[in-house]
Structure 1
Amino acid sequence: MGRPRVYANVAVLLLKWTDELDEFKTGEEVKELAHVFRERFHFETDVVELNYQSKPQRQMDRIVTTFVETHDQPHNLLIVYYTGHATHYKNAGRLELLPSAEPSAAGGSPTSGQINWYKTEDFLCSDEVDGDVLAILDTEYASNGDGNQNMMRANFSSIVGALDEVT
């Protein structure tokens, strides 16, 4: 309640791995999706590729922080879309994003090449963000979000993707 019926601005962040790392080869799909958001819906849209030139977690932190700083306002909607692999560590309560089912095959190590989605989600659900947030995870294990309590926040919604697996 108290939310606008129409958003003042909608901004979209599309995240994928560089073509060299992207085992799913999602480049064309992301390009088409960006076109739909820009041309049909007139949303401000950024496509960002993750890589191993620096630690992917640091990249994600920087990219998402910059996106929020640029587009966040009380009556705005921020959409964050990720496509690529993921793995869920049930005992640790972590959803890790990665470019390949085998991180070492893509040039990373089991720890340095992954992104802890819950860390990103925590920021997007924090008091630092004034607008509403919609996260779309087009990846395996995306529905395993029960380990994180952010789904209870009024300004955060999540959609799981077609590749979803439940552990």
Structure 2
Amino acid sequence: MEDKLQNYENVLEITLDTITNFVAIMPRIAEIENMHTTEFYVFLFIGVKKCVYNSQVASALGIKRSSVSMILRKLVQKNLIELSEDEIDRRYTCIYLSKRGREIFLEFLENFSFLTQKIMERLDKNTLKDLNEVFHLINSFSRSMLAERKSKK
């Protein structure tokens, strides 16, 4: 059992090292630096999805709708997102990046793309293929675990 725990600890350590290395390498963006982690995830989610609803953010990120609402208020105050009534169903509010939010998101995406490109340049095609498959496997597995957790509630 201790061997298993040490292996889990090793995986956690490698994951943490990878994340902290990425964070350290990425150029600093003041608006992102001033965000809490969950706030940053919400910001990225909105940037990737374009137009989302509070319930979508809460469900996808596994946080309470009330927490999402608080984060959205902060992002609105920082002029990073805007809200507008859904044209088809006015009961819903579409959340999307503001002009400034989009500029920051694109700057982050450009930095992320540069870093990703540098990694890809150093790997051969087979290693890249394997890496891609592992990321898809982890993503698929985590989605299925999330779906299981939601179905038990």
TM range (shorter): under 0.3
TM normalised by structure 2 equals 0.26
**Greater strand fraction, Structure 1 or Structure 2:** 1
Select the structure of larger CA radius of gyration.
Answer: 2
> What is the TM-score with the length of structure 1 in the denominator?
0.24
